[in-house]
Amino acid sequence: MNIFRFLGDMTHLISILILLLKIYATKSCSGISLKTQELYALVFLARYLDLFTDFISVYNSVMKVVFIASSLAIVWCMRRHRVVRRSYDKELDTFRHYFLVAACLALALLVQEKFTFLEVLWAFSIYLEAVAILPQLVLLQRSGNVDNLTGQYVFFLGAYRAFYILNWIYRYFTETHFSRWISCVSGLVQTALYADFFYYYFISWKNNSKLQLPA
Amino acid sequence: ASNEVTKDEL
């Protein structure tokens, strides 16, 4: 495992911890899209079915379990927690996420490495992860003001994607048989979706002001 | 040789 991959995993983990911290400390999930969180839960469940079929390393297995458990915990809090669910911006979170699921499933049936159950689900999870942030970005755009922890959460998620791209570039040059174009193309699309957010994040950071997205 | 790629990333 190279340093970029490790930093990618760590920033991914940090983003989830920030989100859990926000929900736990403020007992509020305002500014967080339940639809994006549901999509991530689905992404992890679909991709990490290989927990039962392939063993890579203790690190991989532990991270997979952490990602599945944390994403389910977040969805549970936002839907069921007596206090937390009251702060959910339901009327702002109206993205039709089922269309994303349907489109990604259709694409996975058409484009995958091998037409087997696990391979189709794996490709589906990669495609879905690439677009899962969309409801979250739309919600932030609509509410305009972004609180600190929510801003950090999205920033670290974006950093995770950026590190994974560096990881693929590194692997491409250091490994003889590294070809993973499904991950790479999807990963590029996913990172590009953050470009706009990053732009405003850096402007607010430079001016030392609150993060605001244009209406 | 198989062209299967080990899914060693998360």
pLDDT tens-digit profile of A100-130?
A: 999 999 999 999 999 999 999 999 999 999 9
Mapped onto helix, strand or coil, the DSSP state of residue B3 is: coil
Shortest CA gap A98–chain B (Å): 24
Chain A residues touching B9 at Cβ < 8 A: 5, 164, 167, 183
CA–CA separation, A131 and A101 (whole Å): 9
What value of ipTM does the predicted structure carry?
Answer: 0.80
Torsion of CA A177, A192, A110, B6, to 10 degrees: 30
Chain A residues touching B2 at Cβ < 8 A: none
Name the token pair of A148.
């600190």
CA–CA separation, A133 and A193 (whole Å): 8
pLDDT tens-digit profile of A30-56?
A: 999 999 999 999 999 999 999 999 999
